[in-house]
Amino acid sequence: MGGGVDSHGHRLARPAIRHAKLKMLFVVIATNLVSVYLFSGASLSLNMPASAPSIHLWDSTALLRDLNATRDALSLARAELAFLRGQCGTSSLLLESVLAKLGAVHGDTPAVQDFNGWPEEPTGELKMAIEPHRLPLGYSVNFGTDELFPGLGLACRNFQEELTRYMTYNASAECPDDEALALQLMLKGCEPLPRRRCRPRSPARYVEPKPLPASLWSIPADTTVNWSPYTCKNYTCLVERAHSRGGSYDCKDCFDLAGKERRRWLSDNGGPGFSIDGVLGSRPPGTVRIGLDIGGGTGTFAARMRERNVTVVTTTLDLDAPFNRFVASRGLVPLHISLVQRLPFADGVLDIVHSMHVLTNSVPAAVLEFAFFDIYRVLRPGGVFWLDHFFCLGPQLNATYVPILDRVGFRRLRWKASPKLDLGAERNEWYVSALLEKPMA
C-alpha cells in the first residue's frame, strides 16, 4: 500500500500518481469522442476565409466536382496566359518596328538582328516549316502549350544557306533532285530536316520487288532507283565494287549478295566475331523477337534474322549508293538516321541491338558514350547489345572504351578481343566483339 519509490528510496506521493492517471483517462475519452463525431457523418466546419474553396472531406462526389472545377479554371487561366503572351509578342514586334523606323529617321546604324537564333530572317517555305503554328483548339494540356513546334536539328542554324537552298522549291509540285544536299545536311547535324510540301520523283519504268523469301537474296531491278545522286548508275556497278582494287567506298562488298555478304554471321570459328545462331542460342528460345541493326549497310544482318523469325530494323545512310532502297527491296525495314540522332524508340522495347564496323574509334568518345547509353535505354531488361567488330588501338581499349561500357552498366555475357594483323602487328590494332546484357534489375 502506498506510493512508489524513487531512485533514492523515497516513496512518491499518492496525489502525483492519481494526477497522471486522470490525464490518461482524459486523453482516452477525448479520442473516443472525436472518433464518434467524425464517423457519425457530421460535417466538419472550419473557419476558412470567404475566398477559399469549400473542402468536402467525406463527400467524394462533391470533392470530384470541386477538382474538375479547379482543373477547368486552371486550363482557362493557361489559355488566357497564352493569349496574353501572344499579344505581348505582337506588341513587341510592333515596338521593334517603330524603333527601327525612328532609328532610320535619325540615321542610327542598325544593330545586327537575331531572328530567334537565325542569322537571317527565314522566308518562304523555310519560315513556314520551322515556325511554330497555333493549335486550332487553343491550349492543350497534353502539349503544355497553345502552339505546335516542329522538330528541327540545332545545327541547322549553322547552315542556313544550305537549308534555305533545300527548302527552295515549288510547293505542291515535284521535289528538286537534291538527295545529296539532304544527306550533307544530315551529316553536319542538321537532323531532323524540316518537312517539305513536294513530291519526290518516282523512277521511270518502276518494277515491283520480288516476293518474299526470294527477295532476301535477290538484286532488284535498276529501274527501282533514281541514280542521279550516285557515282554508280546501276546495281551491276555496285556489285563489281567488291572485286575492284582501290577506291574508298562505304561497305564496299555489301551489294555482292552471292559473295562474302552471303557468308556473314554463319559461323563462330574462333575469329573476332560471333555467329547469329550462337548469339540466339545464348538466350531463352523465342525471347529474341525484335531488334535494331545500327549501320547495317544493305541489311544482311536483318535478312539472316528474318530467316530465324526475328524482325530487325536497319539504320543506314545513302552514302553514294541507294542503301535504303536496297534494304527495302529485300523486304526489310530501313531507317534513314545518322549516328548522332536519338534512337526513335521508346524505353525498354527492343530485345537486341547490333552494330558492326560503325561504332568504332573513328567516332568521338563522348558521342560513343551517348550512343551506348541510348542503346541501353531502348533495350528491355534482359535484352542484349551485340557490339560486333569494334575497332580500336590497343592502348585505347582499356583506357577509354572499357570504362565507358562499365559506366553504362551492361553485364558481359561474351567478350572476345582479337588483334587485327592485316596491316602488321606493329600497328597494335584490335577488334573487339562483345555480347552485353541489360540487367534485369
For residue range 277-329, what is the model confidence (pLDDT) as tens digits? 999 999 999 999 999 999 999 999 999 999 999 999 999 999 999 999 999 99
In tens, the pLDDT along 38-96 reads 555 444 444 555 555 555 555 667 777 877 888 778 777 776 776 676 667 667 657 76
- As given in the structure block, the three cell numbers for residue 420 are 587485327
Contacts of 179 (CB under 8 A, 6+ apart): 226, 229, 318
pLDDT value at 414 more than 80: yes
Tell me which amino acid residue 123 is. T
According to the model, what pLDDT value does residue 274 have?
A: 94
pLDDT of residue 104: 67
Per-residue confidence band for 5, with pLDDT thresholds at 50, 70 and 90: very low
Cα(275)–Cα(280) distance, rounded to whole angstroms? 9
Question: Could you tell me the end-to-end alpha-carbon distance of the chain, in angstroms, rounded to an integer?
Answer: 65
Q: What is the mean pLDDT of residues 373-384?
A: 98
Mean pLDDT confidence for 378-393:
96
Sign, CA dihedral 223-227-228-229, equals: positive
Question: How confident is the model at residue 11, as a pLDDT?
Answer: 47
Q: Is the CB of residue 321 less than 8 Å from the CB of residue 301?
A: no
Least confident stretch, 7-16, 286-295, 402-411: 7-16
Nearest Cα residue to 222 out of 236, 241, 210: 236
pLDDT at 352: 98
Decide which of 34 and 198 is more confident.
198
Looking at residue 78, its pLDDT comes to: 72
pLDDT of residue 24: 65
pLDDT of residue 68: 80
Q: Boundaries of CATH 3.40.50.150 in the chain?
A: 218-438
The CATH architecture to which 218-438 belongs is: 3-Layer(aba) Sandwich (3.40)
Report the predicted TM-score, pTM, of the whole model to 2 decimal places. Answer: 0.74
**Euclidean distance between CA atoms 74 and 72, whole angstroms:** 5
What average pLDDT does the chain have? 85
> Distance between CA atoms of 310 and 290, rounded to whole angstroms?
6
Q: Quick one: cell of 393?
A: 588501338
Q: Is the pLDDT of residue 10 over 50?
A: no
Q: What is the mean pLDDT of residues 337-348?
A: 94
